[in-house]
Amino acid sequence: MSALPPVLKKPKAEEREEGLGGEVLENGTADNISRSEQEEALVALIEHRTKEVEHLRKRIDYYKSQCDEFYNLSVFGTD
């Protein structure tokens, strides 16, 4: 079986938004973001994390099967 490729992470791009007076806030967010935009962003984050968890569970299953296969070959394999 072929091994899964390593998971590559995206580099974090810092986004800067301007506040009402044109100043950039220290945490990089504008204080005029509406509640609905925040909720939308939170839902998108939850969906992203859910997909990430599903992917990691698949990887765990894959590596468990690799361990089981190795164990079966080492215990019951031919010498």
pLDDT in tens, 51-68: 999 999 999 999 999 999
Query: Is 26 part of any domain?
Result: no
**How many other C-beta atoms are found inside a 10 Å radius of the C-beta of residue 6?**
6
Whether residue 2 is contained in a domain is answered as: no
Is residue 10 in a domain?
Answer: no
Please check whether residue 7 lies inside any domain of the structure.
Answer: no
Q: How far apart are CA 53 and CA 59, in angstroms?
A: 10
pLDDT of residue 4 exceeding 60, the answer is yes
Task: Give the burial class of 21: count Cβ atoms within 10 A of its Cβ; 0-12 exposed, 13-18 middle, 19 or more buried.
Answer: exposed
Q: Answer whether residue 16 is part of any domain.
A: no
Domain that holds residue 65: 34-79
pTM to 2 decimals? 0.50
Q: How far apart are CA 2 and CA 39, in angstroms?
A: 41
Answer yes or no: is 52 within a domain.
yes
- Number of domains present in the structure of the chain: 1
